[in-house]
Chain A
Amino acid sequence: MGHIRRTLQNRRGDAFVFILILVFFILTLSAILIEYFRMESLYQQVEYVLQRGVNASVEYAVLDEYRRDGYARMDSDLAEKKLYEYLHESMELDSGLNKYAGEEWAYELEIERIDVTDTPPRLTLNGVLKTRSIFSFLTGDVRLPFSISSVNNRIQEGGS
């Protein structure tokens, strides 16, 4: 008991402990910042690529025969089919919508809802981007929600 008390009250080497705490604090702060910007960058990239896919699906599925008559109308099923085709072929997601960077798992898309309307030709994709951070052992997987929409109202021939 006396030994523990003596060790606790002993001030020798306290500068070393202080430096250790400081280094730990700085490293943790740096890791948090780096992780935050990595997540932000990943989220923006995925959002950008998804927006492109949604735009392309709507563009492909707009019915030209209606456009000629001055109406904007879309084949909803075709748009949805093209979107999934884009997710698998262009974004290279697997059947469970997982993305791998080489052998390593990068993220997973969880699509919650796809709202498609024929007139006006609109496709809205709602879902969650699921990924991991180095703090996953504390917080679990990171879930970043997204909502991406594309509308095509142009009725001139060749428009998008």
Chain B
Amino acid sequence: MKAAKDISADAGGAKQMNSKHRGIRGRNSPPLLFQKLLFSRKGSSYFDLMIKTLVVITLMATVMSFLSIFTTYLNLNHVCRRVVRVVELEGQVSDKAYDVFYRLKQQTGLSPEMTVEDVQYCDGQKIQLRNTFTVMMEYSHPFTIFTPSFAPPVQINIPMKVSITGMSEKYWKLSE
């Protein structure tokens, strides 16, 4: 190596290159330290793990936010079922049924609209034994997609409808 140093480059002697010329992209390549950092594979699995964790957390947050829709639907179903049971036992859409409805509305935080359909009333609001009726509840669930700090939350309303059929268990002896 020492012998080669004394011979000119034309004569076949190798000359040590300036460090500026050694980059793979020539003169305009990034500084050596930055380049080293970019190409170094040390700790890459750590970054890999960080990104994967972020992705998993984001996915979990998305799934959990979607769960609220199902929870709301289940709650609506529960409210409807309870009201139907009260109407079945009472044999009419009585104050007791509305009491249960308002109490469940408070408990679940929902505000559905209730209608009673497919019913044949006798003597006022009475439903005769073994006559069927359908309670329908409609609710529009506001699903928040995201909440920016500088603007109102972006929401979509998901319409939900539950209808459950019941049968009166009350025998009304009607006057002739």
Tell me whether B173 and A59 are in contact (CB under 8 A).
Answer: no
A31 to chain B, nearest CB (A): 24
**Cβ < 8 Å to A, chain B residues 151-176:** 167, 169-171, 173
- On chain A, which size bracket covers the interface? under 10
State the main secondary structure of chain B at its contact with A: loop
Chain A residue numbers with a CB within 8 Å of B130 are 56, 86, 90
Q: Does A160 contact B (CB under 8 A)?
A: yes
Chain B residues with Cβ below 8 Å from A59 are 129, 169-171
Q: Is A81 an interface residue (CB 8 A)?
A: no
Tell me the B3-55 residues at the A interface (CB within 8 Å).
Answer: none
Question: Chain A's nearest CB lies how many Å from the CB of B22?
Answer: 48
Contact B169 A160 (CB under 8 A): yes
Write the chain B residue with the least CB distance to A160: B170
B61 at the interface (CB under 8 A from A): no
How far, in whole Å, are A64 and B91 apart by their CA atoms in the complex?
18
Q: How far is the CA of A90 from the CA of B165 in the complex (A)?
A: 13
Distance of A34 Cα from B18 Cα, bound (Å): 73
Which residues of chain A from 18 to 76 have any CB-CB distance to chain B below 8 Å in the complex?
A: 52, 55-56, 59-60, 64
A160 touches B89 (CB 8 A): yes
Tell me the complex Cα distance, A21–B129, Å: 56
How far apart are the CA atoms of A60 and B171 in the complex, in Å? 6
CB nearest neighbor in A for B173:
A64
Distance between Cα atoms of A27 and B161 in the complex (Å)? 34
Residues from chain A with a CB closer than 8 A to the CB of B91 are 160
Instruction: Write out the residue numbers on chain A whose beta carbons fall within 8 Å of the beta carbon of B173.
Output: 64
What are the residues of chain B within 8 A of A56 when measuring CB–CB? 129-130, 167, 169, 171
Give chain B nearest CB distance to A128 CB in angstroms: 24
> Nearest Cβ in chain B — how far from A48, in angstroms?
10
Give the distance to chain B from A42, nearest Cβ to Cβ, in Å.
17
Q: Which residue of A lies closest to B172 (CB)?
A: A158
Contact yes or no, B129 A90, CB < 8 A: no
Residues of B within 8 A of A86 (CB): 130
CA distance A78 to B89 in the complex (A): 21
Q: How far is the CB of A148 from chain B (nearest CB, A)?
A: 13
Q: What's the Cα separation between A56 and B168 when bound, in Å?
A: 8
Given the complex, which residues of B lie within 8 Å of A55, measured CB to CB?
169
List chain B positions with a Cβ less than 8 A from chain A. Answer: 88-89, 91, 129-130, 167, 169-171, 173
List, sorted by A's number, 24 A–B pairs whose CB atoms are closer than 8 Å: A52-B88, A52-B167, A52-B169, A55-B169, A56-B129, A56-B130, A56-B167, A56-B169, A56-B171, A59-B129, A59-B169, A59-B170, A59-B171, A60-B129, A60-B171, A64-B173, A86-B130, A90-B130, A90-B167, A160-B89, A160-B91, A160-B169, A160-B170, A160-B171
